[in-house]
């Protein structure tokens, strides 16, 4: 009987173990690929590919890295709005690689589906290049399915040379002689040759203009003597241009608008313009700068008696800016950045007053126009110091009174004054004798 019970318990334990054991993963299941597998494009034109997955099983997420030659292709967009997995866990572009890790919110997929639409601009007019996929994977309830991958090939062609109008007129007149004359006079070969310097221009002449600069909006116009792509590197330090824009399309006039979420009002930015011609040759401009529009900040300076401080120089930090108070004691500062600042006033050669103030980041944007109201603050000189001194005086006064009272008490109990008081009390006792006690009458026996 005991052996039967042990055997039954063993079966239960084995069954529970099998239920808890993870399901086997699908090894090398499915395919992540680019469609179409091959495409031709002229220099300066766009070419698009679909990144797709044929999972071979149900999957709830996918990832892939698409590599490309930045001297031949420029990425212009990565669109996952129509993706089967529209939630990006990772989506980075740069250095010739597009890294995607995507998941969904409405369950998994089991049939061929779109992951992303990729668009590139051709930078050359001949040869070919490949788009390669690496780090391809898909997940199924937390386990990888290890799909295969397949990239794509891009073939480049030069723009077709246009036939001169005179040649067309000659051809339309008909006749063998006319055709021979047209072909001999039509500069077909020189026309192709004349296009070559445009494809690989030895030098690009660039003109940079600041079209508009507002609180958190900035637009630059870059004009060149040949079609180029333009990008911008910028930052708040000339030695650290840690922000950048994507390259534009090929054009002789390129407009660049900086992201308003990356600009702070009242701040100086340094930038370099990078141009790239159709052959992939790049040119970087010298470092230039611009300052975004800042807030108007008015500070009313009052003395300790709340009277205006007139005609005095006031300094606003953190970037030191000075202003002189007017007849109302108001110092007006312009192009002030939002955040904490210090109002500083030299009371004397050895004494400086400082008080913290705060400028709100409050911009109203209507279309392409930004506005902001002026902000104000009031500063009372010496108020903190006077309050501190008053409290100190009170404390010192109380201490002095306590010391005096303590001294009097000590004198009373430790000097002959105590003896004098004691003698007086004793004398009073002799002058005023104590009342006699009434006789005690004992009862007769």
Fold of the domain built from segment(s) 295-381: Immunoglobulin-like (2.60.40)
pTM for the full model?
0.43
**Would you mind telling me the total number of residues written for the chain in this entry?**
445
Q: Would you state the pLDDT for residue 1? A: 53
* Secondary-structure class of domain 31-157 per CATH: mainly beta
What pLDDT is stored for residue 27 in this prediction? 58
CA distances from residue 345 to 309, 325, 334, 341, 350 in whole angstroms, order as listed: 11, 11, 18, 13, 11
Model pLDDT, residue 231: 93
Residue 175 has a pLDDT of 43
Walk along the chain (445 residues) in steps of 10 and give the mean pLDDT of each run.
49 40 56 88 88 90 92 89 86 88 82 90 89 90 85 84 44 40 39 43 78 92 92 92 92 90 92 91 92 94 89 89 94 93 86 89 89 92 51 81 85 66 71 61 62
The whole-number pLDDT of residue 194 equals: 42
Question: Around Cβ 311, how many Cβ atoms within 10 Å?
Answer: 10
List the end-to-end C-alpha distance of the chain, in Å, as a whole number: 110
Please return the burial class of 241, using the count of CB atoms within 10 Å of its CB with bins 0-12, 13-18 and 19+.
middle
Bridge partners of 148? 31
The Cα–Cα gap between 444 and 92 comes to 126
How many CB atoms are located within 10 Å of the residue 445 CB?
3
Q: How far apart are CA 336 and CA 183, in angstroms?
A: 69
The structural architecture, per CATH, of the domain 206-291 is Sandwich (2.60)
Q: How many helices and strands, by DSSP H and E, does the chain display?
A: 6, 28
**Distance, CA of 321 to CA of 356 (rounded, Å):** 15
What is the SS3 assignment for 315?
A: strand
CB-count burial class (<10 Å; 0-12, 13-18, 19+) for 209: exposed
**DSSP per residue over 194-242, as a string?**
HHHHHHT-S---EEEEEEEE-SS-EEEEEEEEEEEEEEEEEESBTTB--
């Amino acid at each position: 009987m005991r052996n039967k019970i042990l055997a039954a318990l063993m079966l239960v334990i084995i069954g529970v173990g099998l239920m808890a054991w993870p399901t086997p993963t699908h090894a090398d299941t499915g395919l992540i690929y680019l469609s179409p597998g091959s495409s031709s494009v002229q220099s300066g034109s766009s070419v698009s590919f679909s990144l797709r997955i044929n999972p071979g099983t149900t999957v709830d997420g996918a990832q892939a890295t698409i590599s490309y030659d930045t001297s031949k292709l420029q990425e212009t967009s990565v669109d996952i709005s129509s993706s089967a997995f529209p939630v990006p866990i990772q989506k980075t572009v740069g250095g010739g690689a597009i890294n995607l890790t995507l998941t969904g919110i409405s369950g998994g997929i089991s049939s061929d589906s779109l992951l992303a639409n990729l668009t590139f601009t051709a930078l050359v007019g001949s040869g070919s290049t490949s788009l390669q996929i690496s780090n391809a994977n898909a997940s199924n309830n937390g386990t990888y399915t290890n799909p295969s991958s397949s990239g794509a090939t891009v073939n480049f062609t030069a723009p077709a040379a246009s036939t001169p109008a005179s040649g067309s007129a000659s051809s339309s007149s008909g006749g063998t002689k006319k055709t021979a004359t047209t072909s001999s006079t039509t500069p077909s070969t020189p026309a192709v040759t004349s296009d070559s310097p445009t494809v690989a221009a030895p030098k690009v002449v660039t003109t940079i203009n600041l079209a508009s600069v507002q609180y958190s909006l900035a637009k630059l116009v870059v004009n060149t003597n040949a079609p180029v792509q333009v990008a911008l590197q910028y930052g708040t330090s000339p030695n650290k241009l840690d922000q950048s824009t994507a390259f534009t399309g090929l054009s002789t006039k390129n407009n660049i608008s900086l992201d308003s979420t990356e600009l702070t009002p009242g701040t100086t930015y340094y930038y370099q313009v990078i141009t790239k011609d159709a052959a992939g040759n790049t040119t970087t401009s010298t470092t230039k700068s611009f300052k975004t529009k800042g807030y108007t900040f008015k500070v009313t300076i009052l003395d300790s008696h709340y009277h205006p401080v007139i005609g005095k120089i006031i300094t606003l930090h953190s970037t030191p800016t000075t202003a002189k108070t007017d007849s109302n004691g108001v110092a007006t500062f312009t192009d002030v950045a939002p955040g904490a600042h210090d109002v500083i006033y030299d009371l004397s050669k050895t004494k400086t007053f400082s008080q913290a103030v705060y400028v709100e980041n409050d911009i109203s944007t209507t279309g392409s126009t930004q506005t902001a109201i002026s902000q104000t603050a009031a500063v009372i000189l010496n108020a903190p110091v006077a309050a501190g001194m008053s409290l100190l005086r009170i404390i010192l006064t109380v201490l002095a009174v306590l010391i005096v009272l303590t001294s009097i008490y000590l004198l009373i109990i430790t000097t002959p004054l105590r003896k004098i008081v004691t003698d007086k009390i004793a004398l009073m006792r002799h002058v005023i004798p104590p009342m006699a006690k009434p006789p005690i009458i004992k009862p007769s026996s």
